[in-house]
Amino acid sequence: MKTFKMLSLGVEKDEQVMDYPVFDGIIINQENDERSWVLEMLIDLPHQEIFDQLMETQEVVSVQVVISYPGNEPAPFEVMIQDVKVMGEHASVLMKGTLKRARRKYAETLLSELLEDGLEGHELLERFETDMRTRPGLRKDEA
């Protein structure tokens, strides 16, 4: 097994990413035949209700996790919430899931699509910066 530090978590919904501040977190690659991962994070209590609801529905959730260094590109996972518990001033959220196929060269593909859409100059820069933060789905991924 390998462990990594979780720095941030974003939950994908309706082609948008909602970021949740992570007080502390860890990701464990179980290195098993199912290629499963365990993710656990401590979040502020006001966000607990969202994860309680996701646990109740047993919905598979797409998340984007920044691992180890703030400059790393987010890793895409599909997870199910296994447990949510209050721990002092935070809530512990336990998730299990799998790493989605790697999204290599996201920035290059996004830029290519924005250029295809005819964006240029300041408009191109603003849209690129926004989309790099929100990580919308790419047309190439939908094909």
Residue 137 pLDDT more than 90?
A: no
Most confident of 54-63, 65-74, 104-113: 54-63
Binned at pLDDT 50, 70 and 90, residue 60 comes out as very high
d(CA 83, CA 95): 7
**Among 66, 81, 99, residue at a domain's last position:** 99
Binned at pLDDT 50, 70 and 90, residue 110 comes out as confident
pLDDT of residue 130: 86
How far, CA to CA in Å, does 100 sit from each of 47, 52, 77, 96? 25, 23, 5, 13
Largest distance between two CA atoms of the chain = 51
pTM higher than the cut 0.85: no
From the CB of residue 118, how many other CB atoms can be counted at a distance below 10 Å? 8
Same domain, 110 and 62: no
Average pLDDT of 116-134?
A: 89
Binned at pLDDT 50, 70 and 90, residue 120 comes out as very high
Same domain, 73 and 7: yes
Average pLDDT of 61-74?
A: 86
Binned at pLDDT 50, 70 and 90, residue 143 comes out as very low
How many separate domains does the chain show?
Answer: 2
Q: Using CA of residue 1, residue 36, residue 66, residue 82, what is the dihedral sign?
A: negative
Domain that holds residue 18: 2-99
Same domain, 131 and 75: no
For the chain, what is the mean pLDDT? 88
How far, CA to CA in Å, does 127 sit from each of 4, 13, 31, 104, 107? 31, 20, 38, 20, 12
